[in-house]
Amino acid sequence: MATKMLYKSFAAWRHVDRRALVEQLRTLGLTAYEAKCYVALAGLGPAEPRRVAAEARIPYPSAYEALRRLASAGWADLVMRKPATYRARDPGSLKETVAAKVDETFNALQKLYSPEPAQETELVYTLRGRENVLAKMYEMLRGAQESVVLVAPTMGLEDGRLIQLLARATDGGVSVRVIGDEGAAGLLPPGVEVRTGNLVAIDLLVDGKAALIALPDCSACGWVDSPAVASHFRQFLDLMWNTSSPA
């Protein structure tokens, strides 16, 4: 009976659309390898990196590093050191953690969207589609004259044009601060101040007056060009910077 139940459970797991799960996890800020490793680990139970790599169909060194980052971010537990063995955190508890972070982000959004009354109505514009969102970010970065603050998971920093514009900004004397995950430091150009934190969205503030908040996959964003509104956003980003860890 136990063997039959185990077989049914294994067969059901095999029929889960793991590719779709990976894409959904990426929208929460995981890299492609991290998402593939978590999905594989969730089905395998406690497993060594080499077994996870085979199940996820990724190189062993990449799986080893991705599992280490998952454990650091709270998505997995290191249950044995020799040999290194990892176990996926229960999806139910992760759901609660992610939901709490989303609530925190949207509370900050509420402050951004509902500033103190001003003399003129401030408009928050929305854009949909990755190309449109990235085009807006490029436009904001090209216009930077004094400062740039960017909060983005690794998947949000894998755009070559974005990195080029950050490099151009630092070369032009613009102060650039980035809060990313553990993989961010290796992607950013010299001269950028980097810290790491727990991220659920992409935030961009340019010269303290133009602000943008986007989903991690850049599929949609809201932006505003107003010093009055951006000042509230800056307070939120300053708090994130002060509570994040040096890269």
pLDDT of residue 236: 81
Average pLDDT, the chain: 81
| Confidence band of 87 (pLDDT split at 50, 70, 90) | very high
Whether the link from the prior residue into 83 is cis, omega within 30° of 0, is yes
* Residues 113, 102: Cα–Cα separation, whole Å: 16
Token pair in block for residue 220: 């949609």
Q: What's the chain's length in residues?
A: 247
- Domains within the chain, CATH numbers bracketed: 2-89 (1.10.10.10), 95-246 (3.30.870.10)
| Confidence band of 118 (pLDDT split at 50, 70, 90) | very low
CA-CA-CA-CA torsion for 10, 11, 17, 19, nearest 10 degrees?
A: 60
pLDDT in tens, 204-246: 999 988 899 888 888 888 888 877 777 778 888 888 888 777 7
pLDDT in tens, 123-153: 678 888 889 989 999 999 999 999 999 988 7
